[in-house]
Amino acid sequence: MTEPARAPLSRRTRASLVALGLLVAVSAAFVLYGRVGGRGNAAPDFCADSAALSERSASLYRGDIAAMRAVTPPRPMPTFAFASAEGPKTLVDFKGRIVLFNLWATWCVPCREEMPALDRLEAERGSNDFTVLALNMDTRNTERVPQWLDENGIKTLTRYSDPEGKAFQALRKDGLVTGLPTTLLIGRDGCLIGAMSGPAKWDGADAAALVAALQKQP
């Protein structure tokens, strides 16, 4: 018995089948990425301390620091090196401390305006448990950076720089920075718990309350 000829699929039907196939492929990729990439609904085990900090501090992103956004779940920071007077450093060197990681440049007006407040925050709150890491992103005329810091009375912050722009590229590739200033809040385990684009009043009562809550032992 001869099988009856099948009617050709219409253009609309073919398009629907292609769209359905793409949807299935994207859904499978999303599930796989969530499981393997560690960016599903749960923080990786090595970010457990930051997960606790995130829960404790998220409600304190208000007032002067309302632009800070919680990173849920906390995630590992990308790997990169930057310069210091003691030689190359990485964020691994700061593990064990809560880090307020600020990216700034002398050509950035809002960066310059918030730098004195960051310096005062470090002077008042800096300890073995908390530090402000201000990373300068100037890639030209870098000799002017220490001069600007001296002229503006920035005395407490340790001087770190990214003259080749490698740290900036790594952070941008990971979607953590699009412009300056950018401030990232990192837990003791090196995992990201908060991110802010734009300047803030870091020497005010709201910032002080946040740091105090982060340092409070559970």
Asked if 195 and 172 touch (Cβ cutoff 8 Å), the reply is no
Amino acid at 124: E
Confidence (pLDDT) at 200? 98
**Any domain includes 3:** no
SS3 content of the chain, % helix, strand, coil (to 5): 45, 20, 40
Q: Which of 79, 126, 78, 132 minimizes the C-alpha distance to 103?
A: 132
Confidence (pLDDT) at 10? 57
Amino acid at 170: A
203 shares a domain with 98: yes
List all residues 6 or more positions away from 63 whose beta carbon is below 8 Å from its beta carbon.
204, 205, 206
33 shares a domain with 134: no
103 shares a domain with 87: yes
**Any domain includes 178:** yes
**Any domain includes 4:** no
pLDDT of the chain along its 218 residues, tens only?
444 454 555 555 454 444 444 333 333 333 322 322 334 556 788 999 999 999 989 999 999 999 999 999 999 999 999 999 999 999 999 999 999 999 999 999 999 999 999 999 999 999 999 999 999 999 999 999 999 999 999 999 999 999 999 999 999 999 999 999 999 999 999 999 999 999 999 999 999 999 999 998 66
118 shares a domain with 20: no
Please give the tally of structural domains in the chain.
Answer: 2
85 shares a domain with 22: no
Confidence (pLDDT) at 44? 82
Confidence (pLDDT) at 175? 96
**Structural domain harbouring 31:** 9-40
Q: Which of 162, 201, 197 minimizes the C-alpha distance to 183?
A: 197
**Any domain includes 2:** no
Confidence (pLDDT) at 216? 86
Confidence (pLDDT) at 12? 54
Residues 29 and 136: their CA atoms lie apart, in Å, by: 37
